[in-house]
């Protein structure tokens, strides 16, 4: 009975392991898609950092050029009386360029911070994905081992079934032989009883016959005497 219940248990374990593997595969695929999205976002942040850096470099170059122009204009004003309004305009442009350069620098720093955070997140996701992959491989190996054990159990059940059939056949043959022997013993016993009964009946008849003969003689002599 225990051997007959073994294969369903192993089959149930194999099915459960396969369902767990499918579930873990789905989780690994979702993690992979998330990692790909994070990597794409990281690449976009890198490009944004590069654009911000280019703007900051350009603003710095413009600031340097304007400073050079302002110095030149001041020199020209001293030498040739350049218009004060023009110089003030250049100063305003210089302040604006400084403000833009500072804003571009802040944006570049913030973009770099976001990019670094994205890299760290991507690395964490990659580590988790590696762990899930290892667990998936372990689950597949366990499922294969359970399948092998289930097959071995089925083979053992088949062997036990064959052995049970052989033992049952042997037991039936022994019981049939025992039944035949008992039947023969009963027949022989009945024959012995009949023989004993016949022998006893013959002995009773033989014992009764001599007792009857003297009785007849006594009667004859009595008749003659009369």
In a domain, 208, yes or no: no
- Compute the Cα dihedral for 69, 72, 78, 81 and give only its sign: negative
In a domain, 67, yes or no: yes
In a domain, 188, yes or no: no
SS3 177: helix
In a domain, 225, yes or no: no
- Compute the Cα dihedral for 154, 158, 163, 168 and give only its sign: positive
SS3 1: coil
In a domain, 205, yes or no: no
- Model pLDDT, residue 59: 80
In a domain, 220, yes or no: no
In a domain, 146, yes or no: yes
| Tens digits of pLDDT across the chain (226 residues) | 444 444 666 677 777 777 777 676 766 677 777 777 888 888 888 888 888 888 888 888 887 877 877 777 777 666 655 566 666 777 788 888 888 878 888 888 888 788 777 777 767 767 777 777 787 788 788 878 887 887 887 888 888 888 888 888 888 888 888 888 888 889 888 888 888 888 877 776 766 665 555 544 444 444 433 3
- Model pLDDT, residue 223: 41
Domain count for the chain: 1
Which token pair is 59?
A: 């603003």
In a domain, 152, yes or no: yes
Q: Whole domain around residue 92: which residue ranges?
A: 2-173
SS3 226: coil
> Which among 218, 155, 99, 211 has a CA at the least distance from the CA of 107?
99
CA 166/CA 145 separation, integer angstroms = 31
């Amino acid at each position: 009975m225990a051997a007959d219940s073994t294969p369903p248990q192993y089959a149930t374990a194999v099915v459960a392991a396969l369902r767990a593997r499918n579930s873990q595969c789905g989780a690994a695929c979702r993690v992979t898609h998330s990692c790909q999205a994070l990597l794409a976002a990281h690449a976009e942040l890198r490009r944004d950092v590069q654009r911000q850096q280019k703007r900051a470099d350009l603003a710095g170059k413009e600031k340097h050029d304007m400073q050079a122009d302002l110095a030149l204009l001041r020199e020209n004003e001293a030498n040739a009386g350049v218009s004060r309004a023009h110089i003030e305009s250049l100063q305003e442009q210089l302040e604006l360029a400084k403000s833009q350069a500072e804003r571009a620098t802040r944006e570049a720093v913030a973009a770099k911070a976001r990019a670094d955070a994205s890299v760290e997140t991507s690395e964490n996701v990659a580590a988790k994905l590696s762990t899930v992959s290892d667990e998936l491989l372990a689950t597949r190996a366990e499922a294969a081992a359970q399948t092998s054990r289930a097959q071995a159990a089925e083979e053992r059940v088949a062997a036990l079934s064959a052995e049970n059939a052989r033992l049952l056949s042997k037991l039936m043959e022994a019981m049939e032989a025992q039944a035949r022997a008992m039947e023969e013993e009963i027949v022989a016993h009945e024959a012995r009883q009949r023989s004993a009964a016949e022998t006893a009946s013959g002995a009773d008849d033989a014992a009764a016959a001599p007792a009857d003969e003297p009785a007849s003689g006594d009667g004859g002599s009595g008749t003659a005497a009369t």
